Structure 1
Amino acid sequence: MPNQETPQTAIDFVLDLEKRGRQPSTVKRYKYDLEDYLAWIRVNELSYNDRKIFTHWFVQSYFDFLINERSYSYRTLKRVYSVLNQFHRFLISKKIIGENPVSSIDLHNDGEERFTDDMFITEDEQERIVEIIPSEQGLTENQLKAHNLLSKRNLSILTLMIKHGMTLHEVSAIDTRHISFIQKELLIPNTEQTAKRKIKFNQEENEILFDYFQSIPVSVRPAQFSADPFFVAFDFQRLTYRWSYEEDRPKRLTEIAIQKMIRQEIQRAGLRKGISAQHFRRTAILKAILDGDDLEQIQNHFGMKTPLTLNRYLDYVEHLSQQPS
């Protein structure tokens, strides 16, 4: 496991496993799962000493990635949970951290339990989120300075998630070449899908996205029809959009940053804790079913790898139909 990118704490953890007599096959699996998590830290451009990586929301973002993008089974998720839980307990024993961020992780056991009402968002909650974004309610003095610059970006992101069920990964991966304001459509960037997926915007949605794009200062605005990221990271200290000098283009907004934005807007709207991008996606899929859309079209529209994914939604719809009106 030791290499130039492996922190000493991880090396020490694996050595401790070996000293305690764990089977070589078990140690090998722990190494694999732990290195994959360390790669997630690097992908999000954080250091191994950054306190952010020891927070609940950061670890949760990793499990959300495993669930949404890799489609890990619940059994595999539990295995990864066990590895990371023991790793962070090891860090506590060495007095490197004080609390275990893994202990309160939600694994979203979507494969083994039925949907419940709280796994979706209501129309009132959707309206409240959309209403709060352009408002100044609950913002700190520092947040107010950037609000006019970021509200259009944040509204664009929430529009894609709430109306079209796009995932964190899909939103972050959008380049300007993927979107056409003239055709009012977006090509979903997803390398795992052989068929190209497109979503069509109505006039209001198209205007929201275009207004955001136009609000970016020309000097740091992504070039249209290029590989420049559509959603750009923001520098709150300098109050401007960030530039990647390594790539010589605007800096892409990460999935972690999008998650943080959603969490802040949910809190500002006074809604229940735990609402995430997954809630938006589930609700968009459920709405398509309730609207009577063709199931095959729904599967293609939302990029589902198998029609079996829809079964839980259909079971939930049946459950709703049996409730007293």
Structure 2
Amino acid sequence: MAHEALLTEPTDVTLFLDYLASRGRKESTIRRYRYDLQDFYAFVSVELEEDRPPASKRIPPSLLEGYFSLLAEGRHYHAKTIKRIHTVLLRYFSFLHSTQRIASNPMTGITAEEAVTERLQEKDLVFPAEVKKLFHSLRSDAGLSARQAAVRPMLAPRNLLMIQLFLQHGLRLQELSTLTYRQVNLGKGELAISEFTGNPRIVQLSAAEKKLFFQYFQLIPEPVRPSYPHHPVFVAFDFQRQTYRWSYENDAPKNLTEVAIQKMLREERRRAGIDRSFSAKHFRNTYIVNELKKGISPEHMKETLGLQSILTLNKYISFVNQADS
């Protein structure tokens, strides 16, 4: 082994550092990576109130968001330093995901720019006029080719539902893409967010959202419709065959991936005639700002969003206070 492991070093970290050594990385680079990963795991252990570093699969995006907030707002690290640490964690979790040591990558959606940004700006939100145009477009066939119009009734409810969950509940991209049938209880009108993508919590659905769920499920042909607990809720669509897809490898409906959801957002944005780019993160930002403007307390928002630290909300609180002043 080209580097010396500490007794408290998680196995995943050791494997990753061994991988870097096998790729010819310098010892100084490996020492720097180890230091950054040790610091991150020390933060995680404190947040989870555990004596030993937790398994990597138990680290949700909320912990990473809290960590970057600590670096920027608690420790006041320079942007260059935060970007370097972001690169370390991105490569680390990408390695774990590619080697199937974790089911999903918690760094997805956490960009270097967001990691270093201490201030929220107007451009980080989805504007009310854009939301109106987007929902109007989702309910319209205007501008579609005959082929696109033929499948629109099958796709629009799914896309509308996903955007609704982003905007009205602040769900993360990963939380939505990994949602399974066992997490949906339409009788109670609840979504149970998994501990693998965030703090375990219950999201209460409105009557309109429950109706959208029922409509979406009924539009999926029964042979490929989510019906077992492990089945993904949001299913990929086959435009050639004009139907929802089945994964023979997983013996389940084919999961709509994070990349596919991002592509859907881009296509719906363009179709609505919205020129500027925005992502799932913009919807989450908008949700948080809107809730704070309603007078919802930061403590309540922390629980609602499954955040590990209230520090994550500081830039939103500052934005709202500045807008009110």
Same fold (TM over 0.5): yes
Distance 1:125 1:198 in 2: 28
- Tell me by how many angstroms 1:151 deviates: 0.7
The answer to whether the aligner puts 1:138 opposite 2:137 as a matched pair is no
Alpha-carbon distance change, 132 to 316 in structure 1, aligned in 2, over 3 angstroms: same
1:261 alignment partner AA: M
SS of the equivalent of 2:112 reads: coil
**Aligned counterpart, 1:181:** 186
1:90 alignment partner in structure 2: none
Q: Deviations over 1:103-160 (max 9, x none)?
A: xx97333544311111111222112111111212333444333212111110110010
Change (3 A) 1:132 1:192: closer
State the partner residue of 2:71: none
Question: Is 2:285 the partner of 1:282?
Answer: yes
User: Is the 1:162–1:284 contact (alpha carbons within 8 Å) kept by the matching residues of 2?
Assistant: yes
Q: Which residue of structure 1 aligns with residue 152 of structure 2?
A: 147
State the partner residue of 1:313. 316
Q: Which residue of 2 aligns with 1:244?
A: 247
Residue by residue over 1:151-183, the C-alpha shift from the partner in whole angstroms, topping out at 9 and shown as x without a partner, is 111011001001111111000111111111111
SS at match of 1:148: helix
Q: Which residue of 2 aligns with 1:214?
A: 218
| Offset, 1:80 | 6.0
Call closer, same or farther: CA 1:186–1:317 in 2, change over 3 Å: same
Distance 1:300 1:290 in 2: 17
SS at match of 1:186: strand
CA contact 1:296–1:307 (8 Å) conserved in 2: yes
Give the equivalent residue in structure 1 for 2:127: 122
Structure number with greater CO (CA < 8 Å, separation at least 6) is: 2
Structure 1 vs Structure 2 CA RMSD: 3.4
Tell me if structure 2 keeps the 8 A contact 1:69–1:169: no
The aligned counterpart of 2:72 is: none
Aligned residues: 254
For 1:265 and 1:111, locate their aligned partners in 2 and report how far apart those are by CA, in whole Å: 29
Seen in structure 2, the aligned counterparts of structure 1 residues 130 and 191 have a Cα distance that, compared at 3 Å, is same
Contact map agreement 2:293 2:320 (CA 8 A) in 1:
yes
1:171 matches 2:142: no
Q: Output the CA distance in 1 between the equivalents of 2:230 and 2:315.
A: 37
- For 2:112, give the aligned amino acid: L
SS in 2 for 1:205: helix
Q: Which amino acid aligns with 1:241?
A: Y
What are the residue-to-residue correspondences of 1:1-325 with 2, within 5 Å?
A: 23-26=26-29, 70-71=64-65, 73=68, 75-78=81-84, 107-191=112-196, 193=198, 196-223=200-227, 226-322=229-325
- Report % sequence identity: 35
Distance (Å, rounded) in 1 between the aligned partners of 2:84 and 2:262? 22
SS in 2 for 1:293: coil
Amino acid at match of 2:172: T
Residues 5-34 of structure 1, C-alpha deviations (whole Å, 9 max, x = no match): xxxxxxxxx99x96xxx744337989xxxx
Counterpart of 1:131, as a letter, is H
Q: Deviation at 1:311? A: 1.1
Structure 1 residue 276, shift from structure 2 partner? 0.9
**Cα separation, 1, equivalents of 2:62 and 2:266:** 18
| CA 1:185–1:83: 2 relative to 1, 3 Å | closer
Q: Is the 8 A contact 1:129 1:265 kept in 2?
A: yes
Q: Distance in 1 between matches of 2:211 and 2:299?
A: 29
Q: 1:170 to 1:271 in 2, by over 3 A?
A: same
Instruction: Specify the SS of the correspondent of 2:223.
Output: helix
Gaps of 5+ in 2: 1-19, 34-59, 69-78, 91-109
Cα separation, 2, equivalents of 1:314 and 1:211: 37
Moved more, 180-189 or 154-163: 180-189
Distance 2:313 2:267 in 1: 30
Aligned-partner residue type, residue 122 of structure 2: D
